[in-house]
Amino acid sequence: MISLQKEVKVLVIGSTGVGKTSLIKQFCRGTYTDEYSKTVGVDFMEKVQHVDYLKQDVKIMLWDTAGEHAFNSITRNYYKGAAAAVLVFSTTDRESFEALARWRDTVMEECGDIAMAIVQNKVDLIERAAMSSEEAEALARHLNLRFYRTCVKEDLNVASVLTYLVELHAKKARYKVNGNEKVADSIIRTPRASLSMSESLKVQLQQQKQASRRTSKCLLM
């Protein structure tokens, strides 16, 4: 039996304004606001979530930053001990999309090959997209990371990303114990790719409504 950590530190990374703080608040508190307030320094929130794969509750600690590349003692502390990272870009911000590979490299340099996933947030604004679906999917394939589309505003796909990352982290830990150096996670998942974006959103929003009837256990700082 491997003893698996019940606490997992997850970084939420990406350019300013992509929705990192909103994602954390939506996941941990179930709240969302359209008002924007700049994140200063480093902050974190946590939530206990049941992870089916592990058959246990896991305390997921989500670490937030201002989205700056500058390195100092604060940012070093931010990366320390991280088990996973969510790499976020915004549908309406081309620059945030182009910055993603660099964010991935920074995580690799600071944390090594930890569990990561790419998140395209603000899919409710898909009509104003600054990149094509193909481009976004190609980047995920190129970086060999699973790709999620989220709408933090409507709480769409947010929990799935975090559950996936906790599972991937656990799988990587297990493989390491077994002596295998490399864990391939080449599955690029674009849920319901055969449907058009609006159809896909409709279906997922319906599922979301059903899910939101269930209450989740939420620990706040």
Ligand X SMILES: Nc1nc2c(ncn2[C@@H]2O[C@H](COP(=O)(O)OP(=O)(O)O)[C@@H](O)[C@H]2O)c(=O)[nH]1
Measured from the CB atom, the residue of 26 and 49 that comes closer to ligand X is 26
Stretch that binds ligand X, among 32-40, 131-139, 185-193, 195-203 (CB under 6 A): 32-40
Measured from the CB atom, the residue of 43 and 167 that comes closer to ligand X is 43
Cβ pair 17, 93 in contact under 8 A: yes
Closest separation in Å from C-beta 1 to ligand X: 39
Measured from the CB atom, the residue of 5 and 16 that comes closer to ligand X is 16
Closest separation in Å from C-beta 19 to ligand X: 3
Closest separation in Å from C-beta 114 to ligand X: 20
Vertex 118, ends 39 and 19: CA angle to 5°?
25
Closest separation in Å from C-beta 158 to ligand X: 9
Closest separation in Å from C-beta 162 to Mg ion: 17
Residue 16 binds to ligand X (criterion: CB under 6 A): yes
List the one residue from 19, 82, 86, 118 that touches ligand X (CB under 6 A): 19
* Residues in contact with Mg ion by the rule CB under 5 A: 20-21, 39
**CA 191 from chain center: how many Å?**
15
List the one residue from 54, 125, 143, 205 that touches ligand X (CB under 6 A): 125
On the 0-12 / 13-18 / 19+ scale of CB atoms within 10 A, 61 is buried
* Residue 71 interacting entry, from Mg ion, ligand X, none, C-beta within 5 to 8 Å by type: none
Residue 185 binds to ligand X (criterion: CB under 6 A): no
* Residue 157 interacting entry, from ligand X, Mg ion, none, C-beta within 5 to 8 Å by type: none
Distance CA 181, CA 79 (A): 22
List the one residue from 104, 122, 169, 172 that touches ligand X (CB under 6 A): 122
Closest separation in Å from C-beta 174 to ligand X: 32
